[in-house]
């Protein structure tokens, strides 16, 4: 910078004579600056690359541990005891993912402002209010001494990495860019990350808040159309919503809401339908796509366990995967486990709320939020008997009424106990016993064993309510809407060895009408599940390759249901434009596959998206739309009804299905033109729908050019089995199955997997973005837990007791 500042621009009179020389000096200065800056940055990044060969001394180990990284960068950790195993897992994970781990615990704890600045303050207030870290601290006390030790051992390993990286000035370059160093890792940090994942997969509070806001302004008929089902005692509850209004402006504007498409696919196939004669299992959890991946693939080996799969960076163990005898996978059950209560505040004491005719003191937590470059911000969290008051977290409003949230994950839960037991289970009975400890988030577990067993279980704490069904907020000043406990553990939905020869879930409805307990009414759209069922039932003998292909399947069954009806109501419209007709012709010849090289998926997906603007606005603004978490199923039902000639107030008020469909279609065509020009034949889904696995620092340009991957065209969509959700404004694919796995129990020593974009969080690592090609084309790598296989790569690191 000093060199550039010293260069002066000559005056106008002398420019003709001196200009070429000035240009040369400036150009030379820029080149030197870039070379110096780039060289220093390269040196920093290269210095932070983990040691993967040779020996490292680690304080606290009892015996040497060997870490083999295979050709895909998966660490295979061999230890003589579990103490050393988990110390090594903490150390090795930190080697690859320390910045991600630190950012994850900060986000969940409400501590981002300390390193990012004031722009993260509302987000920090949000998570301080929800209290994920407080819930983690309560949960830590509930763990067994054995599991507490695992957490401590893991933390010891992470801290050994932090200590060594600080001493050698080799922390990941992101810490240098942001100008801070990570604090010591605590056992509660791991549990806090786990609570964040429970939050990311819960997602019912925002729907209740949305319907609460809508109840204030809509007619009964239009309000009922937004409900998943109208509550049995709906008249009473809806009147309570109208009589006790709460301003949700601040909440809607700054809420950090889970992606409504957070879900997954999983299925198990029996030996009778498997080409190998043994069960097979497939799992691809759908969460955010980013750099680094949300999942970290690892193999843990000690005398009493040999387990491989994935875990969230920062958490010990393996949460999804297989051992030498069994395999298991999950999808999100998505039950109603969060209830909003309308609380009446004492006008004379804002820290008291009414219950059963008396004023009760709320718990008050005085938080201090550190802000980079600014003074610390004091922040007060108010917690009623039902939970934290969330309706005014960003403002000191102290309204006469407020919304407090009760949630199963804010109680003490012990999922890590279950994870430790999964690793050592050899039978369905042993695995099922482990599930007694898995409380939140409630999940659909599928299971396969080398003994031939396949099984399914919906597992987790699901409340039983006196009244209400979790669809809308309920009065908190009475005991009429309290929880009466949880669905008894032995009454949770379970299936073992069904006659069909397979079990599949995709966040769909998993119970029949005769099931005695309420789970939820906001199931995912049924299209992924229906397609999985189609494919699995169509073939007598299935192979691993069949299951891989199905995980990448792009058939759009939503289009199969709606497209003909939608094109039918618009194709004869008098005001169709020539380009509209060209686009319609492309849709009518479409094979209903979201192929990136076709134009029709772009037109269709934009069309469905534009119904939001035509049907729901202006009644639902952008902020409240963010809370409308069952919008897709509501919209599907609206289209379903109107295309069958039934009345639907939202569409009828906008002129009927013909007018709304045409308006949405023309908006979609206009957007396609603005994106890709005036020739529909040249439009491509993959030009808009692209994945770049954005890094957190990629939000700051031009760092995106350094840390993010080069955008790659991606097929699929939100309702295809090969899930690929996208940012509605930009088309960026930011949601899907970062991890896909298939395991054939005829050889439980190996699995086929892909982790997008790769294993490492280090920009210069060969495993940083190396799996993008496989991930975007449906290919996999083999991960073996056989030492003779994974040692062949030769990446041997010895961790030696210090």
Summarize the annotated binding site as residue ranges. Answer: 336, 339
163-198 core/surface letters (b: 16 or more CB in 10 A; e: else): ebbeeeebbbbbbbebeeebeebbbbbbbbbbbbbb
User: How many angstroms separate the CA atoms of 793 and 778, rounded?
Assistant: 24
How many whole angstroms separate alpha carbon 200 and alpha carbon 196? 6
Residues 6+ apart with CB under 8 A from 768: 291, 757, 758, 760, 761, 762
Catalytic residue set = 264
Structure tokens at 239: 């009147």
Question: How is residue 615 annotated by DSSP?
Answer: I
Rounded to the nearest 5°, which phi and psi values hold at 97? -135, 25
Question: With contact defined as beta carbons under 8 Å apart, do 761 and 99 qualify?
Answer: yes
Nearest to 306 by CA among 738, 782, 783: 783
Report helix, strand or coil for 738: coil
Nearest alpha-carbon partner for 492 in 523, 461, 469: 461
545 contacts: CB under 8 Å, gap ≥ 6: none
Residue 268 to residue 406: CA distance in whole angstroms: 34
- For 626, half-sphere exposure in the C-beta direction (CA atoms, 13 angstrom radius) is 14
Residue 651 corresponds to which tokens in the numbers above? 């569409």
Residue with tokens 């006196």: 466
Contact 332, 73 (CB under 8 A): no
| Helix (H) or strand (E) segment spanning residue 404 | strand 401-407
Separation between Cα atoms, residue 470 and residue 79, nearest integer Å? 47
Helix locations, 619-681, DSSP H? 622-625, 631-643, 649-653, 657-676
| 657: Cβ contacts below 8 Å, ≥ 6 apart | 569, 639, 642, 643, 651
DSSP state, residue 717: B
The H or E element spanning position 212 is helix 205-215
Using CA atoms, how far apart are residues 443 and 459, in angstroms rounded to an integer? 5
Beta-carbon contacts of residue 89 (< 8 Å; ≥ 6 apart): 77, 154, 157, 298, 300, 316, 317
């Amino acid at each position: 910078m000093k060199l550039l500042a010293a260069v002066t621009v000559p005056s106008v009179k002398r420019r003709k004579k001196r200009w070429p020389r000035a240009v040369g000096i400036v150009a030379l200065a820029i080149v030197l600056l870039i070379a110096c800056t780039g060289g220093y940055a390269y040196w920093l990044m290269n210095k932070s690359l983990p040691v993967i060969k040779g020996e490292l001394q680690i304080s606290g180990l009892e015996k040497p541990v060997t870490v083999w990284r295979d050709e895909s960068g998966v660490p295979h950790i061999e230890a003589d005891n579990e103490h050393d195993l988990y110390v090594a897992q903490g150390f090795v994970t930190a080697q690859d993912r320390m910045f991600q781990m630190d950012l994850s615990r900060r986000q969940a704890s409400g501590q981002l402002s300390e390193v990012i600045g004031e722009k993260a303050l509302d987000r920090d207030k949000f998570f301080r209010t929800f209290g994920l870290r407080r819930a983690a601290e309560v949960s830590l006390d509930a763990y067994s001494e054995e599991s507490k030790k695992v957490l401590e051992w893991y933390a010891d390993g992470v801290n050994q990495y932090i200590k060594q990286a600080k001493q050698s000035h080799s922390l990941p370059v992101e810490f240098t860019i942001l100008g801070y160093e990570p604090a010591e890792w605590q056992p509660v940090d791991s549990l806090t990350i786990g609570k964040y994942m429970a939050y990311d997969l819960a997602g019912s509070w925002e729907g209740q808040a949305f319907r609460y806001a809508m109840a204030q302004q809509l007619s009964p008929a239009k309000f009922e159309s937004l409900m998943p089902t109208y509550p049995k005692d709906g008249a009473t509850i809806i009147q309570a919503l109208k009589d006790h209004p709460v301003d949700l402006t601040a909440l809607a504007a700054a809420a950090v809401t889970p992606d409504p498409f957070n879900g997954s696919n999983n299925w198990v196939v029996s030996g009778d339908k498997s080409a190998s004669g043994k069960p097979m299992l497939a799992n691809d959890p759908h969460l955010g796509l980013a750099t680094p991946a949300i999942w970290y693939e690892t193999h843990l080996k000690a005398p009493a366990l040999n387990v491989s799969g994935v875990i969230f960076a920062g958490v010990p163990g393996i949460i999804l995967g297989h051992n030498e005898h069994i395999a298991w996978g999950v999808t999100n059950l998505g039950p109603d486990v969060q209830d909003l209560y309308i609380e009446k505040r004492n006008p004379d004491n804002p820290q008291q709320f009414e219950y059963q005719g008396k004023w009760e003191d709320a718990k008050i937590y005085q938080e201090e939020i550190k802000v980079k470059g600014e003074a610390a911000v004091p922040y007060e969290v108010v917690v009623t008997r039902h939970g934290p008051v969330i309706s005014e977290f960003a403002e000191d409003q102290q309204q006469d009424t407020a919304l407090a949230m009760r949630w199963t994950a804010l109680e003490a839960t012990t999922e890590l106990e279950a994870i430790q037991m999964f690793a050592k289970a050899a039978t369905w009975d042993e695995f099922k016993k482990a599930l007694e400890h898995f409380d939140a988030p409630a999940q659909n577990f599928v299971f396969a064993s080398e003994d031939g067993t396949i099984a399914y279980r919906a597992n987790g704490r699901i409340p039983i309510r006196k009244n209400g069904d979790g669809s809308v907020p309920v009065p908190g000043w009475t005991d009429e809407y309290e929880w009466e406990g949880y669905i008894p553990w032995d009454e949770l939905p379970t299936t073992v060895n069904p006659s069909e020869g397979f079990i599949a879930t995709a966040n769909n409805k998993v119970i029949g009408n005769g099931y005695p307990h309420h789970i939820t009414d906001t199931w995912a759209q049924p299209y992924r599940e229906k397609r999985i069922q189609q494919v699995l039932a169509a073939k007598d003998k299935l192979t691993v390759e069949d299951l891989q292909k199905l995980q990448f399947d792009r058939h759009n069954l939503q289009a199969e249901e709606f497209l003909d009806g939608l094109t039918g109501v618009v194709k004869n419209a008098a005001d169709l434009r020539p380009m509209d007709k060209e686009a319609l012709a492309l849709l009518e010849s479409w094979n209903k596959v979201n192929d990136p090289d076709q134009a029709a998926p772009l037109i269709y997906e934009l069309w469905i998206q534009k119904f939001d603007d035509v049907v729901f606005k202006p009644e639902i603004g952008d902020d409240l739309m963010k809370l409308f978490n069952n919008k897709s199923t509501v919209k599907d039902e609206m289209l379903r009804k109107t295309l069958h000639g039934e009345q639907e107030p939202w569409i009828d008020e906008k002129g009927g299905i013909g007018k709304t469909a045409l308006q949405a279609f023309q908006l979609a065509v206009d957007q396609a033109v603005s994106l890709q020009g005036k020739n529909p034949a040249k439009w491509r889904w993959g030009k808009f729908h692209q994945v770049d696995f954005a890094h957190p620092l990629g939000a700051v340009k031009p760092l995106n050019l350094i840390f993010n991957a080069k955008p790659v065209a991606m097929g699929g969509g939100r309702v295809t089995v090969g899930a690929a959700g996208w940012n509605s404004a930009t088309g960026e694919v930011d949601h899907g199955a970062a991890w896909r796995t298939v395991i054939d129990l005829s050889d439980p020593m190996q699995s086929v997997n892909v982790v997008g974009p790769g294993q490492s969080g280090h920009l210069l690592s060969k495993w940083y973005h190396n799996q993008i090609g496989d991930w975007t084309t449906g290919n996999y790598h083999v991960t073996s837990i056989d030492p003779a296989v994974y040692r062949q790569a030769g990446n041997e690191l010895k961790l030696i007791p210090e």
